[in-house]
Structure 1
C-alpha cells in the first residue's frame, strides 16, 4: 500500500482592507447580493459575485424554498447566470460572503460540495483557474487560487 497526501494552499487576509482594490469592490458586490438573499427558513444569507474576463460582474444569492431541495446556493445561482448570460466568457474571480440573521458570522464560510463541483466544471471547461475569496460577514478572508484548492480530486468529463 502507498499513501497519497493531498494538500491545499490558501491565503489568509485579516480584513477587507488587506484585499486588492478589485477584490474589495467585488466583495462589496457579494455583500449586496447577500443582503438580497431569500432565506426565510435558515436565516443564513449568502452572496456571491463573479468578475468575468470582460470586466462584467455577475451576482447571485441563495434562494430557499419550503421544499428544501428546491432551493439554490448563491454560488450556483451566480455561476449558472454567468454561464447563461455570458457564454464562453471566462470567470476570473469569485467573492463569497455569508451572514446569519441569528448570530455574527466571523469565520470564513466555504462553498458547499455541490457548489465546488459546479465551479470545478466551469474551471475545467474554461481551462483557466478561478480565484475564490470567501468570508463570513466580518473577519478573515480566505483566498484559493483555484477551485482545485478546495476540491483537489475533481470529478469531470474525464472521469466518465
Structure 2
C-alpha cells in the first residue's frame, strides 16, 4: 500500500476591501450578475464575472428550470459563453458570488463538481490557470490560483483526443 496526501492552498481575505482594486471590481461585477439569475425554485442566486486577457468581462448567472436537470449553474453559463464566443481570449480570473433571502451566507460558496470539471477543461484549453475568487458578500473571499486546488482529480483522458 502507498499512502498519498493532497493538500490545497488558497488565500482567505476577511473582506473584499483587502483585495486589489482589480479583484474588488471583478467581485462587484459578479455581484451585479446576480440580477439576471433565474432562480424561482431554490431562491439561491449565483453570479459570475469572468475577466479575459483583453479586459472584456463576461457576466453570467444560474438559470433554473422546473425540470431541475435542465437548469445550469452560473459558472458553466459563463464558461460555455467564453468557449463559444471568446476562446481565443484567455480567462485571467473568475469571481463567483451568491445571495439568498432565505438564510445568511457566511462563507464563500464553492462551485459544484460539474462546474469545477468545466473550469479545469477551460484551463487546459487555454493552457494556463485562471485565478478563482469565491466572494461572500459582506464576508470573506477565498482566492485560488488555478482549479487544481479545488479539484485535484479532474478527469482528463488523453486517449480521447484524436489526431489526424
Please give the range of the TM-score, normalised by the shorter of the 2 chains.
over 0.9
RMSD over aligned CA atoms reads: 1.1
Ranges in structure 2 where 5+ consecutive residues have no aligned partner: none
Separation of aligned partners in 2, 1:159 and 1:63: 34
Does 2:28 correspond to 1:28?
yes
1:108 corresponds to: 108
The answer on whether the counterparts of 2:27 and 2:135 sit within 8 Å (CA) in structure 1 is no
Count of residue pairs brought into register by the alignment = 160
Extract structure 1 runs of 4+ deviating beyond 2 A. Answer: 135-138, 157-160
**Bigger Rg over Cα:** 2
1:7 corresponds to: 7
CA drift at 1:159: 6.6
The answer on whether the counterparts of 1:110 and 1:135 sit within 8 Å (CA) in structure 2 is no
Write the deviation string for residues 89-139 of structure 1: whole angstroms up to 9, x where unpaired: 110100000111212212110100000000000001111011100023320
SS at match of 2:148: helix
Separation of aligned partners in 1, 2:103 and 2:35: 15
- TM-score, normalised relative to structure 1: 0.96
CA drift at 1:34: 1.4
SS at match of 1:47: strand
Separation of aligned partners in 2, 1:30 and 1:17: 15
2:65 corresponds to: 65
The answer on whether the counterparts of 2:44 and 2:100 sit within 8 Å (CA) in structure 1 is yes
1:44 corresponds to: 44
Separation of aligned partners in 1, 2:149 and 2:8: 5
SS at match of 1:149: coil
- TM-score, normalised relative to structure 2: 0.94
Separation of aligned partners in 2, 1:148 and 1:159: 21
CA drift at 1:8: 0.6
Distance change in 2, residues 1:138/1:159 (3 Å)? farther
Separation of aligned partners in 2, 1:41 and 1:157: 36
Distance change in 2, residues 1:113/1:159 (3 Å)? farther
Matches within 5 A, 1:11-160: 11-158=11-158, 160=160
